[in-house]
Chains A and B, each alone.
Chain A
Amino acid sequence: MTRKIDCEVFQDQLDALAQGTLSEEGIAKLRLHAGSCRDCAVLLRMREHLEGLSAVASEAAVPDGWVSSMWPRVQAEVATRESCRLQRSLRRRWSWPVPAMAAATLLLAIASGLLFAELRRLRDREQILVQQVQDQQRWLAELDVRTSASAVARTAGLAGTSIWERVLANRESISVSELSGLLAGLPPSTTLLSAAELRELIRRVPYLRTGVWETVLTEIQAEDGLQAGEALRLIEVLGLPVDRSISMARVLNLSRLSAPQG
């Protein structure tokens, strides 16, 4: 309790102590208290320190040279800042055209790159198309070769019921030997007339249902249609002379007759 009272008294007397207006006895008492109280000791030290920075003492401590040199220093600093300000201003003035030009150059480069890429793509496409055209032409040329006389039969055999019309349309007649040659060029199992077509042909040509034809049709097993091998055997069974000429009109007529009626 005593200490607290002492602290309050100490703090009340602090200004007087720090300014040196306290009596010797009062100073001794307060310094004694500061020696036993750490809080008040710091407070005293702080006050003495701040008083030590009194205006008169500080101004007196400022060297004359610092005062006389202040104006040149200020002038130099102002000049330096003005120079920096001008440089910044110049930099700002040229700050936008350079990036703008760089950006434009970059855009131009990108556009050129895209353009060249597109041109390259079109050129590649053109080469592919040229290659395709050449392939088509080569294939057509090969097709022409296949449709020549020696390959007519193979092509015709694969073409179905209208073979005679499409392959032999320009011919007026065909010999038995030619027909045998054509049939021999086909795989024996190649179907020339399906079972339905053959039945239709038999139904529409009455004499095929009589005499030797019945035997022949049985021989060639007409139930599964007429194959190339059977046609060859049929020619042999009928014993047709090899130089006999068969009218294409008859052949085509037989072909049409075998077509199922719609």
Chain B
Amino acid sequence: MDDRELSALAAACKEGDERSFRILVDSLTRSLIAVAYRYTGDWEWARDLTQETWVKVYGGIKRFDPAHSFRAWLYAIHRNGCLSHLRKAWVRHESNPGDDPLSRLRPVSAGVDPEEEVERLEFHRLLLRGLGALSESQRQVLVRVDLEGGNQKEVARELGMKPTTCRATLHFARKRLATIVRGMEERGDQED
């Protein structure tokens, strides 16, 4: 479904058409959960954050301007929700609440070793904690490129940077994050 179709459906939602809203939910939920998963590394949280995004969109659809892209509006809300979740995790020094790491395994677990999956989750937790120690610009670029899988040139344009600046910022952000993660691993911060 292209941007124009999505914006038309959103305009119908604005007029109170719930059927159109359901179509939007069915069409975009998979992508939103995937994005949230890249932020959190946690499927349950990804699902909850996506649900929260839809609840916010449902309550704020009146504020949507059909002259603009609904997809961009939706993803901006979703990204803010995910970042807000990460900020809370940075403050609390915990990226993924939940006592049982196995509850956060991939929903499709065929061929996935549970031990490897737990190790992967713990590493993801370290990465998210490390993100909190980066500068704002480094974090923005790294999140948009490495976590969301965005194109460097597009991210540079969206953030108002030169492509070379964006590339350099990403380079130093990755180096710094690696140093931070290594330091946390050596201190045994995984056990927090």
Interface residues of A (CB under 8 A from B): 11, 14, 38-39, 42-43, 45-47, 49-50, 52-55, 58-59, 61-63, 66-68, 70-71, 73-74, 77-78, 81
Interface centre among B107, B171, B178 (most CB of A within 10 A): B178
Asked if A81 meets B47 with Cβ closer than 8 Å, knowing A42-B182, A46-B127, A71-B22, the reply is: no
B22: chain A residues at CB < 8 Å are 71
A74: chain B residues at CB < 8 Å are 25, 51, 54-55, 58
B51: chain A residues at CB < 8 Å are 70, 73-74, 77
Q: Is B26 an interface residue (CB 8 A)?
A: yes
- How far, in Å, is A262 (CB) from chain B's closest CB? 103
* CB under 8 Å from chain A, chain B span 177-192: 177-179, 181-182, 185
A42 with B31: CB separation less than 8 A: no
Assembled-state Cα–Cα distance A46/B106 (Å): 19
The residue from A39, A49, A66, A81 contacting B179, defined by CB atoms under 8 A apart: A39
A67 with B174: CB separation less than 8 A: no
Interface centre among A43, A52, A78 (most CB of B within 10 A): A43
Assembled-state Cα–Cα distance A145/B157 (Å): 121
Assembled-state Cα–Cα distance A81/B38 (Å): 28
Assembled-state Cα–Cα distance A50/B143 (Å): 10
A53 with B37: CB separation less than 8 A: yes
Asked if A67 meets B30 with Cβ closer than 8 Å, knowing A39-B178, A53-B41, A74-B55, the reply is: yes
A sample of 21 inter-chain contacts (CB < 8 A) reads A38-B182, A39-B178, A42-B179, A46-B181, A47-B174, A50-B127, A50-B147, A53-B41, A53-B147, A55-B31, A61-B34, A61-B37, A61-B108, A63-B107, A66-B47, A70-B50, A71-B26, A73-B51, A74-B55, A74-B58, A78-B55
Q: Give how many A-B residue pairs fall within 8 Å (CB-CB).
A: 97
Assembled-state Cα–Cα distance A70/B37 (Å): 16
A67 with B26: CB separation less than 8 A: yes
Q: Is B160 an interface residue (CB 8 A)?
A: no
A45: chain B residues at CB < 8 Å are 123
Assembled-state Cα–Cα distance A55/B33 (Å): 10
- How far, in Å, is B31 (CB) from chain A's closest CB? 6
Assembled-state Cα–Cα distance A235/B126 (Å): 131
A54 with B174: CB separation less than 8 A: no
A43: chain B residues at CB < 8 Å are 174-175, 178
A11: chain B residues at CB < 8 Å are 171, 174-175
Assembled-state Cα–Cα distance A184/B146 (Å): 131
B59: chain A residues at CB < 8 Å are 78
A70 with B107: CB separation less than 8 A: no
Contacts A63-B107, A74-B25 known; 6 new A-B pairs at CB < 8 A: A38-B182, A58-B34, A58-B35, A62-B33, A66-B29, A70-B25
Interface centre among A14, A53, A59 (most CB of B within 10 A): A53
Q: Is B14 an interface residue (CB 8 A)?
A: no
- How far, in Å, is B25 (CB) from chain A's closest CB? 5
A49 with B182: CB separation less than 8 A: no
B162: chain A residues at CB < 8 Å are none
CB nearest to A80 among chain B residues: B55
B34 with A70: CB separation less than 8 A: no
B54 with A81: CB separation less than 8 A: no
B97: chain A residues at CB < 8 Å are none
- How far, in Å, is A91 (CB) from chain B's closest CB? 21
